[in-house]
Amino acid sequence: MATSTVADIVRLGPVIPVLAFDTPEQGEHVSRALHAGGVKVLEITLRTAAGLEAIERAAQIAPDIVVGVGTITKPEHCALAKKAGAKFGVSPGLTREIHQASLDAGLPLLPGVMTPTDIIVAMELGYEIVKFFPAVPAGGLNMLQAFHGPFPTLKFCPTGGITSESAINFLALPNVVCVGGSWLTPKAALAAQDWAEVTRLARAASELARPVR
């Protein structure tokens, strides 16, 4: 699927699931279940050893799936993820080294920010869309509303502590383009291999209303 920029990718759906898998096989099952529920964009994190192979498998599921790599904390993660088939990267924070590595790898990056200083650094490097992380512990809706004044053109993907109930409130903000969340893959459903439940949650997330921007 032709999605060359983060701006293209974040508009493919209101929710980007944040995923960590115990095994590549689990990752493939969950990715298929999410896609069946209409979720086209996945963030598969490098928090477990299964991450890279899960990305490789998920990227081959369907032509319209867009798989990203999450928890980029080292520059070398960018090239590894690109080789595995990732179409974009997500980091909890941002350094100039990670920024340069993403450019070198040809991996569009959604960098994490939490403070005004983080935001200014990201904007200096040319980012127009950033991840606000950890969203709820860092101030949630009130913080995003406060950011809109000094940074009126910047768009956010808040991630961290967002639930199926609160997601709609974040999506209603003028500076939010999508949200990230882990509620689409509850631990109980994964333990029971209840892929139908994952698909049900994915379908509900895909149908969340958001203003057209």
**Known catalytic residue at 43:** yes
Cα within 13 Å of Cα(124), Cβ side: 9
Determine which one of 40, 82, 87, 131 is catalytic. 131
76 catalytic, yes or no? no
Q: What is the DSSP string of 7-45?
A: HHHHTT-SEEEEE--SSHHHHHHHHHHHHHTT--EEEEE
Q: What is the DSSP letter of 176?
A: B
Question: Among 43, 82, 87, 155, which one carries the catalytic annotation?
Answer: 43
Strands (E), 50-145: 66-70, 88-90, 109-110, 112-113, 129-132
Cβ neighbourhood burial of 95 (10 Å; 0-12, 13-18, 19+): middle
Helix-, strand-, coil-residue percentages of the chain, each rounded to 5: 40, 15, 45
Does residue 134 have a cis peptide bond before it, meaning omega lies within 30 degrees of 0? yes
For 196, the 3-state DSSP assignment is helix
Which residues are designated catalytic? 43, 131
